[in-house]
Structure 1
């Protein structure tokens, strides 16, 4: 298997359909990365996870620990990818890339908005470009971290 390729299975579910333990592990990973590691003090469970059309994508290890996750919101005009997070112990294995590809494929299979957008951290702009995303506006600051609004170039 080439470097940065993973053999893990991407799982996808509506939040309401997740077992409590899986939801806990997803939220725990997001808090570990965004609140603790990146020192962004905010309430991660923002209510959007409970929207019926919201999908959680994640990859777990054999013990059920969530290694990587992202959230896919379905808006009226666009799908929005967010909360992309990988456990520190699971980085550089291609897990987030697997999730990104799966999220884009999911949006293309579903009826709904044609556009897919995200607000990525600026230092990851080139990485998001590898999935076909392009910047569509200026860099802005969110919690002290530069972010770039990006749209899938379809």
Structure 2
């Protein structure tokens, strides 16, 4: 299974609904975090998502510099609870990194990672670049992936 990559304007109503439904299911309900998910950045993003039996089971949001950070960024990374532990999160991040490198020629990718996922992101090549901070009441680290020039 390969992830789809679509600009906000290319998403169907069903795709957008599936993405928003999964984000609410995990970030708001499961993590008990009340926050403003609709922050205005979705309209300028490339949305990466995977459907299984018609249901969005994993998604992320890719942004160009100047949107959320001064570097390229990946955010709103989420995998449906029933799909965790299958390698889907790793596949999603690898495909996101490949997309950003090939399509946007990204040299750096920044993320705001939940603290408990630090090791997961380090195994994907990201390094911690900030002190721990709270984002929406959840401990996070700023992390960065830099591609080495050949």
TM-score by length of 1: 0.88
- CA offsets 1:92-118 (integer angstroms, 9 cap, x no match): 111111110011111111245522000
Offset of residue 153 of structure 1: 3.2
Match of 1:149 in 2: 142
Which ranges of structure 2 fall in alignment gaps of 5 or more residues?
A: none
Q: Which position in structure 2 is the counterpart of 1:37?
A: 30
Normalised TM-score (structure 2): 0.91
The equivalent of 1:132 in structure 2 is 125
> What does 1:101-120 align with in structure 2 at a 5 Å threshold?
101-111=94-104, 113-120=106-113
Gaps of 5+ in 1: 1-7
Match of 1:5 in 2: none
Aligned length: 144
The answer as to whether partners of 1:135 and 1:151 remain within 8 angstroms in 2 is: yes
Aligned match of 2:21 = 28
For 2:93, which of 89, 96, 100 is the aligned residue? Answer: 100
Residue 43 of structure 2 aligns with which residue?
50
Contact 1:58–1:68 at 8 Å: present in 2 too? yes
Matched residue SS, 1:24:
helix
Moved over 4 A (4+): none
**Alpha-carbon deviations, 1:19-69, whole Å to 9, x = none?**
110110000000111111111111212111101xx11111111x2100111
> Is 1:59 paired with 2:70?
no
Provide the alpha-carbon RMSD of the alignment: 1.3
8 Å contact 2:107–2:146 — kept in the other structure? no
Instruction: Tell me, in whole angstroms, the C-alpha distance in 1 between the residues paired with 2:71 and 2:125.
Output: 16
